[in-house]
Structure 1
Amino acid sequence: YREGYLLVRFANEGTNASADAARAAIVAAAGGGTIEKMYTIVPGLGLVNLPDGTDTMAAQTAFDSTTGVVYAEQDYLWRVQAIPNDSDFGELWAMHNTGQTGGTVDADIDAPQAWDRTTGSNDVIVAVIDTGVDYAHPDLAANMWTNDAELNGDPNVDDDNNGYIDDIYGYDFLNNDGDPMDDNSHGTHCSGTIGGVGDNGQGVAGVCWTVKIMALKFLAASGSGSTSDAISCVQYATQMNATLTSNSWGGGGYSLALRDVIEASGSSGQLFIAAAGNNSFDNDIWPHYPSSYDLDNVISVMSTDDSDVRSSFSNWGLTSVDLAAPGSSIYSTIPGGLYDYKSGTSMACPHVAGAAALVWSVDAALTYAEVRDALLGSVDTLGNLTGLCVTEGRLNVYSALLAVNVTDQMPPSPDPMAWEVQPTAVGLETIYMEAVVAEDAPGVDVQYSFVCVNDPNFDSGWQDEPVYYRGGYAEGTTYQFRVKARDEEENETAYSSDPNTTTASGTDTLPPVPNPAQWKAAPRKIGGSGTNVIVAMEAFAALDEISGGVEYRFEETSGNPGGGFTSVWQDSPVYMASGLSDTAPGYTYSFQVQVRDANDNPTAWSTPLANVNLFPPPQVREVPFPYATIQAAINAASNGDTVIVHPGTYSGTGNVDIDFLGLAITVQSEDPDEVSIVNNTIIDGQSSNRAFDFHSGEGADSIVAGFTITNGRIKNGGGAGSIPGGDGDPGAPSFGGAISCTAGSSPTIRQCIITNCVADGSGGDGGHGDPTVDPKIPGGKGGDANEARGGGIYCDPTSSPLIEYCSITNCSVIANGGNGGDAESPLPDTPTADSVAGDGGDAGADTFGGGIYFGAG
């Protein structure tokens, strides 16, 4: 909670000067302080600023026992509920899961089917109560709510008299100003899921393509904020007529004041969608607020992954959590016009908020209870969620729309219709044309109508195929065409443009179609390696007036190894090139194709497919899902890949003695620049293992970043004793308690915290006498101890790692002494006078570099 503040509900709910004076007297009687603000959403509720040095808990007790106080409570602190882990629509598995991330096909919210009914409305306002929103983000700007009175008013003036100055996009209650810009990324990420602008050719699409997002900030860059500021956000959202609020935060205590405010927002018709929390707890036993408030306008949301399984971090509750929604590895907007993945119930919550907004967009008269019932009554029931939430199901926004009887009112897309290949004459009497393949909801059939503007005898009528190819046209004549599409509900697109084409006259001088030639399948590696890679490619099958008779040739123009060639003309549109190289990322190739007909009329060369890189593309591999351990992710990686390790404590096999295997990869926490992430992404050696062992010549492009490495320990075995009468072997040296770099390995180690790690040089074992002979043979000399180097990081003379912005504390080196030689007798425990012990081994050996050791060289 916030020290020095109390939320107090006074029995006196008046709003005049005498009421203010009466409440001030009550504060004085309770021990003093000032009433910093009175809230209007709950009459009588105020924030009291206590005198400096006042014990907040004692003050709460004093206020609770003062006449005229209904209740007093601490100003609890809350935190974001994320695990910070259109051109990119394929990344949005939660909207439309085709198995693209390795999950279960259709483990999604059926967004495309819903979008065939509606894509949203500007009349629906979603208040995102969070860390703020990047209101200038290109995928959010068009969907930001604006207060027009302030937008068109005077700076530094409360133009609409709502009590807030310059609140154009919302308000920042943390800093008490009108600029709710996001300085964390959490609120912007949630907003992109709710209302990323759809069908704009870039980035992502939110559940609502069209909506208004009100930015209300109360969480700081660190992700934390106070109850009093959260109350101000809910009050503002209610005052400014937001339809619902999205609340991806929690973790404070039970606040009666916050509960009263949320209940009051429900009385105004507002839904409060809340994240269920990321503690992997049962909320029925350990409530999580605000999601656990038993109010009918609160919807509590848990998280599922791309296989419809509860996300490992997600809370649950058969009676306290309402439904699940996708929340693992969600791709969305972040500040600066960028995009990133995040995981958490914070990411599940905005899917439900967006779905509620989409339902409201078709009928603004729906009550919050009707919208809530539509969402909860239409889930996809899943066996994996049995006993985990009230509905035992995952959100399905399409089914929610059907629950409020929304019919298909949307035409296919694109609308207007567009051309894939414009009408093109390919001879004396033949014309070819092709529309783009229209998209509608999955499973919905689409038809096409090609219309000849200047001669209806050449209209196609409605047909299933997007291609119209026929003869019978007059020679040397110009024809003009347009095309439209419709779905099963006969929702029609507008017509396309209406280009014209002219048939040849006398002699065919026209090339095949398409012209220029087009690719059907881009060049791709299908076999070979090194400098003998085989690459296959395929041109679009060309058509001409004469059936058959077209030929193809392919050209590579880069001049890189194996390139710089033009093939001979061939009948097949498929071509395989060999002798190319994948030995380095810098080798890229550029291919183009050309087609000719039987009359030797060539098309133009296709658009070159440049920068074809046969080197494997980089991948992002995440731990602990889908890879259970850091080593498992590295084992699957290739050069250039990134392994992202989500917050948690990692120990045991696969998470210690981690081997980069010589790969040029990055292994990092979610955000090495964020101290809270580094502090909570922990590799624990449990006093028996180091964290990383570099020994395969890794270079600066092998990167470790953003971890806390603790309790690392390297202790090699002591030397063995010898019989009879021989000296004990020396102990083994121990180098690098947390990280070891040997054999020319020079990785980059940055932004890591290395603490409580030890390099422990072993002592030699004692020499032994021979117990089988008499007189007794003295035990040999005990083995010598050996040295320890680099309690934190060890670098041998051949290794020069780059170590940046790391903290190394409380690390040490230890060298144990050698053991003494033992004396032996024929019978156990019965030494004789001539049973003589050997000499002790050397004392502790040298130690070097408690924090870091660099070998000479």
Structure 2
Amino acid sequence: MSRALGSALAGGALLLLLPGGGSASPAVTRIVVGYTERGYACAPAFEQELGADVIGKIVPLRADVLRFDSSESASVLSLLHADPRVRYAEVDGIVRALRVPNDEFLPTQWSVTKTHAEQAWDLSTGSSQVVVGILDTGTDPGQPDLGGKLVAGYDYVNNDQDPSDDNGHGTAVAGIVAANSDNGIGVAGYCWACRLMPVKVLDADGTGFASGLAQGIVWATDHGARVLNLSLGTPVDDLTLTAAAQYAWLHGALVVAAAGNESSPTVDYPAALPNVLSVAASDQSDRLYAFSNSGARVAAPGENSTTGRGSTYVSFLGTSSAAPVVSGIAGLAFSLVPGATPAQVKQAIETTAVPIAGVVNGRVDAYATLHTLAPALAQPGTPAPGRAAPESTPAPATGGTRTGAPARRTKVVTGRVRQGRNASVVIATGAGLLRAAVTVRQGGRARIAIRLLAGRSAVASARGAGRARLRAEVRARRYRLLVSTTSRKPLTFTLTISYPNGGA
């Protein structure tokens, strides 16, 4: 039977699947054999009797990948199906992926606003202890926005330890999940501090074997990934993939998978498997894109600006682009509540989604997810792991003595910065005057700077020796204040912000 996996990618197209040791050849057939517990102990001798070439082993699943001459495949399958030591035997099929979109970078990260990610970042920007596995075409280690983000991975296409990206799809996926943020270049990933584990299961053409994907899922789980992003799919069910996804779930990893780009009323596999969080692609109006498969558990923005190979950036469209949005939010959730289980994170994402047509639960909301997991933290001025932590949050005071003057809030935070590592605070203001002052608490008269950003546009900035102040007229919207320094030594600072109350 054919088991094509295709990556749910750009332009409403279907794509990827995974390799597990070499390219396919019409002269040979790959068969994946799942054994009983007793049968697996006898597998080496049994496979030798069959004259099989063993090209892969998935020990936790008691499954081996065997290679035979194509002329023998029908008789071998009949023999395997009749053997009581064999639970299942399937042909390991392949599928080819479409090309990755390579449009020039468009600075329109509406996805972040739609999912309330900026508000979520007030609670957590992630943790370096949380690793997200990117099971894809690999990841480009030379992409500057992914610098310092990658942990050791594996290449199941070439069976080596160099999971470099020779396609571009995996690098684009990785950037949405966890591109470096507050570094003055490129794009912002959803989980700023999370690290990425590249597991190459697709070749340069975006094709691979189902057995390779299963191997990758088990490997990433065993090596500590808490979230596994699968921006790929096949319309055909697969017993080995089913076992691999269940293995991840039982060992503490949440699998997130693209729903597919075939405009189908059903989702692809492995997105359709039990305990896998399936993701459709929605637009700015909270409608599913016409190419997106429907019936997924949730939807997420399907157009994201992200990292390309080298130093490039791309606008990435498809369910392959939507899935890493959810993986990034899951990374934030595990960062905020390290003891959470995959079931708890999956439930939080699903139950807080904003209802829209075409999916079971709705379009994901990053802030609502974190609020549900840790409601006590979801208050104005709450410390965010790895970020500037509020020192105190005085109660709102009236702004002036005039009747009808808008209420004001004062937010005081402390944090640490050094050259190349900024601190960030997100606030929601009403219309009026904003004042901000930053003071170096340790470091004397070291240079310190503060910037007020609306989206990616700078509204105001100030810098000085030991302290800096800024004033700006603001509108009712969300703003971000960035504190930075040229000091190579870490500096402790206090930031005081007074602004018209906007509800946060």
Q: Which residue does the alignment assign to 1:647?
A: none
Q: Which residue does the alignment assign to 2:284?
A: 306
Query: Given that residues 297 and 360 in structure 2 are in contact (C-alpha distance below 8 angstroms), is that contact kept between their aligned partners in structure 1?
Result: yes
Q: Which residue does the alignment assign to 1:126?
A: 132
Q: Does residue 1:324 correspond to 2:299, yes or no?
A: yes
Deviation by residue 1:394-433 (Cα, 9 ceiling, x = unmatched): 1110111111123332558997799xxxxxxxxxxxxxxx
Aligned partner (choices 319, 326, 348) of residue 352 of structure 1: 326
Q: Does residue 1:34 correspond to 2:53, yes or no?
A: yes
Task: Output the CA distance in 2 between the equivalents of 1:417 and 1:66.
Answer: 64
Deviation by residue 1:228-256 (Cα, 9 ceiling, x = unmatched): 11111111101211111000011252111
- Give secondary structure in 2 for the equivalent of 1:94: helix
Q: Which residue does the alignment assign to 1:72?
A: 89
Task: Output the CA distance in 2 between the equivalents of 1:322 and 1:280.
Answer: 16
Task: Output the CA distance in 2 between the equivalents of 1:125 and 1:71.
Answer: 33
How many residues were matched structurally? Answer: 395
Task: Output the CA distance in 2 between the equivalents of 1:140 and 1:494.
Answer: 22
Alpha-carbon offset, residue 208 of structure 1: 0.9
Corresponding letter in the other structure for 1:396: D
Deviation by residue 1:269-316 (Cα, 9 ceiling, x = unmatched): 111000000000011xxx5211111x22x1000001122211111000
- Give secondary structure in 2 for the equivalent of 1:440: strand
Across the aligned residues of Structure 1 and Structure 2, the Cα RMSD in angstroms comes to: 3.5
- Give secondary structure in 2 for the equivalent of 1:128: strand
Query: Given that residues 126 and 214 in structure 1 are in contact (C-alpha distance below 8 angstroms), is that contact kept between their aligned partners in structure 2?
Result: yes
Query: Given that residues 302 and 324 in structure 1 are in contact (C-alpha distance below 8 angstroms), is that contact kept between their aligned partners in structure 2?
Result: yes
Matches within 5 A, 1:513-532: none
Corresponding letter in the other structure for 2:299: A
Task: Output the CA distance in 2 between the equivalents of 1:452 and 1:65.
Answer: 75
Change (3 A) 1:72 1:417: closer
Change (3 A) 1:493 1:72: closer
Aligned partner (choices 429, 436, 445) of residue 448 of structure 1: 436
- Give secondary structure in 1 for the equivalent of 2:184: coil
Task: Output the CA distance in 2 between the equivalents of 1:450 and 1:373.
Answer: 40
Change (3 A) 1:241 1:14: farther
Larger helix proportion of the pair: 2
Corresponding letter in the other structure for 1:402: H
Q: Which residue does the alignment assign to 1:8?
A: 33
Query: Given that residues 106 and 314 in structure 2 are in contact (C-alpha distance below 8 angstroms), is that contact kept between their aligned partners in structure 1?
Result: no
Query: Given that residues 132 and 195 in structure 2 are in contact (C-alpha distance below 8 angstroms), is that contact kept between their aligned partners in structure 1?
Result: yes
Aligned partner (choices 372, 376, 396) of residue 365 of structure 2: 396
Change (3 A) 1:115 1:32: same
Query: Given that residues 121 and 211 in structure 1 are in contact (C-alpha distance below 8 angstroms), is that contact kept between their aligned partners in structure 2?
Result: yes
Task: Output the CA distance in 1 between the equivalents of 2:108 and 2:414.
Answer: 21
Q: Which residue does the alignment assign to 1:47?
A: 65
Q: Which residue does the alignment assign to 2:169?
A: 186
TM-score in terms of structure 1 length: 0.43
TM-score in terms of structure 2 length: 0.71
Q: Does residue 1:289 correspond to 2:258, yes or no?
A: no
Q: Does residue 1:377 correspond to 2:351, yes or no?
A: yes
Aligned partner (choices 313, 317, 320) of residue 343 of structure 1: 317
Alpha-carbon offset, residue 264 of structure 1: 1.0
Task: Output the CA distance in 2 between the equivalents of 1:362 and 1:439.
Answer: 17
Corresponding letter in the other structure for 1:351: V
Task: Output the CA distance in 1 between the equivalents of 2:440 and 2:206.
Answer: 61
Deviation by residue 1:770-798 (Cα, 9 ceiling, x = unmatched): xxxxxxxxxxxxxxxxxxxxxxxxxxxxx
Aligned partner (choices 110, 114, 117) of residue 116 of structure 2: 110
Aligned partner (choices 142, 147, 150) of residue 144 of structure 1: 150
Task: Output the CA distance in 2 between the equivalents of 1:417 and 1:38.
Answer: 47
Change (3 A) 1:79 1:117: farther
Task: Output the CA distance in 2 between the equivalents of 1:123 and 1:481.
Answer: 33
Task: Output the CA distance in 1 between the equivalents of 2:251 and 2:365.
Answer: 27
Task: Output the CA distance in 2 between the equivalents of 1:36 and 1:113.
Answer: 48
Matches within 5 A, 1:167-316: 169-251=152-234, 253-283=236-266, 288-293=268-273, 295-296=274-275, 298-316=276-294
- Give secondary structure in 1 for the equivalent of 2:65: strand
Query: Given that residues 78 and 250 in structure 1 are in contact (C-alpha distance below 8 angstroms), is that contact kept between their aligned partners in structure 2?
Result: no
Task: Output the CA distance in 2 between the equivalents of 1:118 and 1:342.
Answer: 25
Corresponding letter in the other structure for 1:258: L
Task: Output the CA distance in 1 between the equivalents of 2:280 and 2:189.
Answer: 19
Change (3 A) 1:237 1:439: closer
Deviation by residue 1:90-136 (Cα, 9 ceiling, x = unmatched): 4211112xxxxxxxxxxx11111111111111000001000000022
Task: Output the CA distance in 2 between the equivalents of 1:496 and 1:35.
Answer: 57
Deviation by residue 1:188-232 (Cα, 9 ceiling, x = unmatched): 000000000000000001001111100000101111100111111
Task: Output the CA distance in 2 between the equivalents of 1:443 and 1:327.
Answer: 29
Structure 2 unaligned spans of 5+: 3-23, 389-410, 419-423, 442-458, 471-480, 487-504
- Give secondary structure in 2 for the equivalent of 1:245: strand
Corresponding letter in the other structure for 1:46: D
Report % sequence identity. Answer: 30
- Give secondary structure in 2 for the equivalent of 1:122: coil
Deviation by residue 1:48-77 (Cα, 9 ceiling, x = unmatched): 122x24343443233112231111011132
Corresponding letter in the other structure for 2:302: G
Query: Given that residues 89 and 204 in structure 1 are in contact (C-alpha distance below 8 angstroms), is that contact kept between their aligned partners in structure 2?
Result: no
Query: Given that residues 6 and 75 in structure 1 are in contact (C-alpha distance below 8 angstroms), is that contact kept between their aligned partners in structure 2?
Result: yes
Change (3 A) 1:188 1:271: same
Task: Output the CA distance in 2 between the equivalents of 1:13 and 1:242.
Answer: 30
Matches within 5 A, 1:597-676: none
Task: Output the CA distance in 1 between the equivalents of 2:425 and 2:235.
Answer: 46
- Give secondary structure in 1 for the equivalent of 2:270: coil
Task: Output the CA distance in 1 between the equivalents of 2:98 and 2:326.
Answer: 15
Aligned partner (choices 482, 501, 521) of residue 467 of structure 2: 482
Task: Output the CA distance in 1 between the equivalents of 2:96 and 2:428.
Answer: 39
